[in-house]
Structure 1
Amino acid sequence: MSDTLALASRLQAESDDALIELLTSRHLAKRDLRDFFDLADALLSPESVSEALSHLNRPTLAALVSGQQSIAGASAYLLAAYASMLLFEADGVLKPYDSVLAVVHSWPAHGLPSVDDLVLVPAPEVPTHSSSDLQAQVDLRAGERAFETTVAVTELIIAVLQAPARELAKGGLAVPDSKRLAVATGLDASQMNAIIRVAQAAGLTFRDGATWFAAESARDFVLLPLGERWGVLAAAWLGALPEQIVSVLQTRVDAVWGENLTDYLAWLYPAGGPELTAQITELTLDAERLGVANSGRASSAGTELLCDSRDAAVALVSAQLPPEVSTVYVQHDLTVVAAGPLRPDLDATLRAIAQIESHSIASSYRISAGSIAKALAAGYTATSIRSFLESISSTGIPQPLEYLIAESSARYGLLRAGSVEAEAGELASSYVRSDDRELLHTIAVDQNLGSLGLVFVNGNRLVSRFGLDTVYWMLVDARYPVIAESGSGTPKTLTRAQPSPPHVVSTTRPVDELVNRLRGSGVQGGADTAEAWLVRQLDLAVKNKSAVLVTVKLPNGTEVAFPMVPTSIASGRMRGTDQKAGVERTLPLASITQVAAVNPVS
């Protein structure tokens, strides 16, 4: 019986959940498959088989091609290969489909191991670290990298929350956004793609089309203690690794990573190819970046992460990280210096009233008239700003800062912006008013505000065709002391609209639709499957005008084979030309027991 027919019958008997898992794992969810025969053909195609074999380790491959392993004693990996439709069961023994064997036997021509090599070629030696290696030095350097990356991811998320980043069509961040994020993180622009990938793996950023957004979980992430933030990133790195690679790392935490580990994994997964090599390279780089490993050796925290628990790893990393501080030095030049990483909640509040200049082990912020104006626009008051700074400053509030807060607070509200109830034919949507006519003239000629099209309607009032939100926030960003007001002149607080992630409408998954289509293909199990298989073969022969050997069961029980070139199938009958007798025959489909391909008879 054909492998395709046997596999199609087996697939029909699978549950919907099993089919969904199969289609997903074999990456066939988006294929245009009409029925179970199409699915069987797709699963047995050389490309699909090769891709599935690339995920199997060497012992599993050796057991697979041997065709002698009983299903009762099969390993979990071999049973997974059976569930992936690479093997079938015959009398309690797991055997590979012919298409699978054909792919493995073709390996030597492509530089891959032969069937004998799968068993006979030993694993390359992976050296372990000698006792002279100093784990403390490895942990120290790993802790530094863990701190650098965690801070960089935090700063990148804050920057993307303020303004999403654009992805190029050819891949990678657009140059302006790379530079902007590099300034925010303090790292080189060439590292931004890797940093945003680390954030994406943790579910903190995501891409929609050509735009990178910060996820909702990112807002909670930036408020976590530094060690916990590292734990989120490290756990995501571990969770993104294929299970088979994790198992290798767990048994080789004392081995030399890098090229030696790459050679061993290439031996263990001989069909992995360039994709496996690229994956190993990426995981190694990210492991070094996160402090899971350093200089080709797993850190103590990395070992705990791989072999014990995230909490144990976080505890070890936290001991290596600089301690968070809750006090700052407020200086006469209006800078605020934190001698260590500032506690996340304090850092978030300080950013609301000051511009961050550098963020590392020691961070610095700068307070200006513009930053005070932004804080006032966000709902802070002079009293609340002063109270917060007094609570965290170990040096009090210098007199220049006192003057700045008082002056900015007094000037705040000198400009008032509101909405215009435009009459028919009027284009004005908002206004800006002030008793300071000189200030209004300055705003009217400010090139940074030229796009607003502000025009005078009287000496104390400008109007714009843009809405209040646009006008107000452009004035705030230009550092003008503006407040928003209602129609009655009462001040009101506006909230800057943040770019929101796109709303994804939930729809039926393609894989669910595919399973429904397969179930509705009209072919049932049992005898109906065999009949449908014969019809499928005859249909292909009609389409290709090819010769087939058709076996027909006669009324007396005997069978006769006719070399035919089918021309049509209709009303339960097949019509075609008998290549041997040179006559046209019409055969009932119910009497046909077998169809086999043959070469046309001259």
Structure 2
Amino acid sequence: MSRTTLIDWLRAQDDEMLAGLLSARPDLATPPPAETAVVVVRAGTSGSAARACEGLDTLSLAVLEAMILLRADLDAVTVDAIVPMIGNGVTVDRVKAAVKGLRRLILVWGEDHDLRLASGVSNALGPFPGGLGQSKPVLAEVDLPEVINDLSEPERRMVVSLAHGPPIGRTKDAGFTGSLERAETPVQKLLAKGLLLHRDPDTVELPREIGLALRDSPLGPVAVGEPPLRTSAHKAVTVDSTGAGEAAEMSRHVENLLNRWSEEPPSVLKAGGLGVRDLRRLTRDLDVDETQAGLIAELALGAGLVADSAATAPEWLPTAQADVWLAATPANRWATLAAAWLDLPRLPGLGGRRDARDRLLVPLADELRRPHAPADRARVLGALADLAGGEGVSDPEDLVAVLAWRAPRRGGRLRDDIIRWTLREATALGVVALGALTSAGRALLDEGTSAAAKRMAEAMPQPVDHVLVQADLTVVAPGPLEPELATAMAQVADVESAGGATVYRIGEPSVRRALDAGRSADDLHELFRTHSRTPVPQSLTYMIDDVARRHGRLRGGTAGSFLRCDDPALVAEVAASAVAHRLELRRIAPTVLVSPLPLIEVLDELRDNGFSPAAEGPDGQVIDVRPRGRRLASRAKIAAPAPRPPSQERVAELVAKVRAGDRASASRRGRSVRLAAGDADTSGTLALLQEAVQQGRSAWIGVVDAHGVASQRILEPIRVGGGILEGRDSETDEIHRFPLHRITSAALVEE
């Protein structure tokens, strides 16, 4: 067997393999590794190995578990030894293909006849590989089939149950230490016979040897092949038109949310999020269920259309971005929401569930934040993107099973739920329809927001410029209305039902709303006369005129502050003063003046002009309204972005750096100089490097970059001066320049 180490093996691989490793496992590349040894040390940590295992399919995980059972962390094994451990008709070629993928991630290393398990993998996969317990070597010398046959039926049922995993069980008899004669229960008898292991006062464990003796194959049933995915073929135009309908509906719901929260913003809970009462009100207002309402609120937050006001009494308020969104075309509105959902680092589907402390999880709360949610959505949509255009999944549970096989460890206990939530949310957004990606959804994944908006615009029906007014004072819009007409109809009528055609209802309150917005009765008559393809009923004309006749007789206004005095002469003096114009004071009664400015400004100006006003509260008592000092608004938390693989250019730089570090580590060094921590005197380094230039010798240098990351390399110094070392890398022939103050050590290389 080979005696090479993983570091030696990885150094012997080509640059393409190292680049693929750093791309597939980006945590190994941050911060930039100085040499191969650093890469191997990072890869061997349990956390890094666990992250790498999250992307493995069921067969690859079975190969790793088989190698753990074969003790491949201690001695090399062969592919031929792994095959019978998995069983279930798996072929050597399938196992070799799985090993090749594991080798690219350096979870295993070596050739097929000399395979070893990388450190960290055993811990990453947990204490029970293949659902088997720890080994009890003494049982290897026992005739286990005969022992098992001699067990009583209750004892046999217990060991068979534990043999198929997990191999531990909780029981009050776990602490039994008596003899077989004193044993009464099946657990006590198995403990006395040495066929169960004592883990703690409440837990027993079945030894690995017993589990293997009771199984048909060492790892038990392993799904070596991906489950079938049943699909249905649809016309692409049908998928796109269905998705466009859902997209329009979602945009309408978000618009209604913005309108309602503009008028009555809900409070932000003390712990953050949207309260149950406000969620139920939103559910009633939008006529959707709570799950859908939570998704709509999350989309508005993710797209930056609403935010926490961060005031003393915080509320969820629309932002200035909401006005930009409302003015956009329907397709661009959708694209904004869809892109926000795709990158949303949150799981809206968690809303309504309870956490480990039995606390209710509500929409917009921090507890719904999951940095890896975008990657999970991309995985689900990527599986649909692999299907042909118009081809959709017949049953969502088929996709759940397929993705669970492809990555059984990804997503934890929420793995299957995340897939279902993603399909449901994508369907509600029009990214998916009839189980298939829409053309706009596919463009969103492949080409970006602009291309997706263009595809959605093509799928959406063209806006219409007319409506159908009915005798019962309902108005039917036979399609999406042109923006100006849609705005006018929203002012004068209420939506009664939406879909392919929208039905509006006109009533006195809605007509009054249009008049409040500044429209006259003549404007409303002209609106229906020019845009209705059906005759305008007389009842509508009479109602508009009747409401307009009564509208505005009683008027109200706003005032920021008021001044009152029992002496009309003093009020008149203030109104006639020069300061009255600056304060925009208006007399509404002989003893009352009002101003649109805040009271504190009015009082300060009057005092500066010789008057002596006092402030009063709602009860008429004098109060102190002087400011209490400056306050800083609360700042929104900035979420750390999800980790992304480095670019190809960055990977190439990292590979070059690692190779340079390897050459430096392998070099024989002669006389050296090292700076102590905090030492700013570089004269020794300068002298050594100048000597290397004069003698034409290579130099080993240790460098710390601007980010504090250390590296080392071998250079042929060309010039030293002006605080800069300029040298050539003999392997790549590249010229490098390093500030002398960043060189922490240097040495001449012995030939």
- TM-score, normalisation: structure 1: 0.52
Shift in CA distance, 415/235, structure 1 to aligned 2, threshold 3 Å: same
1:151 counterpart SS class: helix
User: In structure 2, what residue type is equivalent to 1:224?
Assistant: A
> Is residue 205 from structure 1 mapped to residue 306 from structure 2 by the alignment?
yes
2:28 corresponds in structure 1 to: 82
Gaps of 5+ in 1: 1-62, 115-120, 427-460, 470-501, 512-524, 531-602
| Structure 2 contact 258–322 (Cα < 8 Å) conserved | yes
1:160 counterpart SS class: helix
Q: How many residues of Structure 1 are paired with residues of Structure 2 in the alignment?
A: 383
| Aligned-residue offset at 1:506 | 6.5
> Is residue 226 from structure 1 mapped to residue 243 from structure 2 by the alignment?
no
Shift in CA distance, 345/67, structure 1 to aligned 2, threshold 3 Å: farther
> Is residue 238 from structure 1 mapped to residue 342 from structure 2 by the alignment?
yes
> Is residue 157 from structure 1 mapped to residue 258 from structure 2 by the alignment?
yes
1:365 corresponds in structure 2 to: 504
Q: Distance in 1 between matches of 2:295 and 2:227?
A: 28
User: In structure 1, what residue type is equivalent to 2:27?
Assistant: A
Shift in CA distance, 327/168, structure 1 to aligned 2, threshold 3 Å: same
Shift in CA distance, 508/126, structure 1 to aligned 2, threshold 3 Å: closer
Query: In the alignment, which of 472, 475, 495 is matched to residue 356 of structure 1?
Result: 495
Higher mean C-alpha displacement, 101-110 vs 397-406: 101-110
Q: Distance in 1 between matches of 2:514 and 2:455?
A: 38
2:565 corresponds in structure 1 to: 424
Shift in CA distance, 328/213, structure 1 to aligned 2, threshold 3 Å: same
2:385 corresponds in structure 1 to: 253
Higher mean C-alpha displacement, 407-416 vs 271-280: 271-280
User: In structure 2, what residue type is equivalent to 1:305?
Assistant: L
| Structure 2 contact 461–480 (Cα < 8 Å) conserved | yes
Q: Distance in 2 between matches of 1:323 and 1:508?
A: 41
Identity %: 28
Q: Distance in 2 between matches of 1:91 and 1:247?
A: 31
| Aligned-residue offset at 1:231 | 2.1
Equivalent residues in 2 for 1:172-321, closer than 5 Å: 173-208=274-309, 211-240=315-344, 242=374, 246=378, 249-250=381-382, 253-255=385-387, 256=393, 258-259=396-397, 261-262=399-400, 265=403, 267-268=406-407, 270=409, 272-274=411-413, 279-321=418-460
Q: Distance in 2 between matches of 1:395 and 1:64?
A: 82
Shift in CA distance, 141/417, structure 1 to aligned 2, threshold 3 Å: closer
Shift in CA distance, 112/193, structure 1 to aligned 2, threshold 3 Å: farther
In our comparison, the structure showing a higher alpha carbon Rg is 2
Q: Distance in 1 between matches of 2:520 and 2:508?
A: 14
2:347 corresponds in structure 1 to: none
Shift in CA distance, 161/360, structure 1 to aligned 2, threshold 3 Å: farther
Q: Distance in 1 between matches of 2:19 and 2:267?
A: 49
Q: Distance in 1 between matches of 2:596 and 2:441?
A: 52
| Aligned-residue offset at 1:80 | 2.6
Higher mean C-alpha displacement, 269-278 vs 326-335: 269-278
| Structure 1 contact 141–294 (Cα < 8 Å) conserved | yes
Q: Distance in 2 between matches of 1:244 and 1:77?
A: 18
| Structure 1 contact 151–185 (Cα < 8 Å) conserved | no
Q: Distance in 1 between matches of 2:534 and 2:478?
A: 13
Shift in CA distance, 325/129, structure 1 to aligned 2, threshold 3 Å: same
| Aligned-residue offset at 1:242 | 3.4
1:74 counterpart SS class: helix
1:414 counterpart SS class: coil
Shift in CA distance, 391/272, structure 1 to aligned 2, threshold 3 Å: same
| Structure 2 contact 265–316 (Cα < 8 Å) conserved | yes
RMSD after superposition: 4.8
| Aligned-residue offset at 1:106 | 1.3
| Structure 1 contact 340–362 (Cα < 8 Å) conserved | yes
Gaps of 5+ in 2: 1-5, 50-118, 132-221, 345-372, 388-392, 568-588, 598-630, 641-673, 680-751
| Structure 1 contact 71–93 (Cα < 8 Å) conserved | no
1:148 corresponds in structure 2 to: 249
User: In structure 2, what residue type is equivalent to 1:156?
Assistant: L
1:108 corresponds in structure 2 to: 125
- TM-score, normalisation: structure 2: 0.42
Q: Distance in 2 between matches of 1:529 and 1:113?
A: 53
User: In structure 2, what residue type is equivalent to 1:74?
Assistant: A
2:385 counterpart SS class: coil
Q: Distance in 1 between matches of 2:555 and 2:527?
A: 27
| Aligned-residue offset at 1:192 | 0.7
1:94 counterpart SS class: helix
Cα deviation, 1:476-525, whole Å, max 9, x if unaligned, reads xxxxxxxxxxxxxxxxxxxxxxxxxx9956699899xxxxxxxxxxxxx9
Cα deviation, 1:51-77, whole Å, max 9, x if unaligned, reads xxxxxxxxxxxx999966677732352
| Structure 1 contact 206–212 (Cα < 8 Å) conserved | yes
Query: In the alignment, which of 516, 537, 545 is matched to residue 406 of structure 1?
Result: 545
Higher mean C-alpha displacement, 158-167 vs 191-200: 158-167
| Aligned-residue offset at 1:387 | 2.9
2:603 corresponds in structure 1 to: none
| Structure 1 contact 67–96 (Cα < 8 Å) conserved | no
User: In structure 2, what residue type is equivalent to 1:423?
Assistant: R
Q: Distance in 1 between matches of 2:264 and 2:541?
A: 32
Q: Distance in 2 between matches of 1:234 and 1:303?
A: 12
1:391 corresponds in structure 2 to: 530
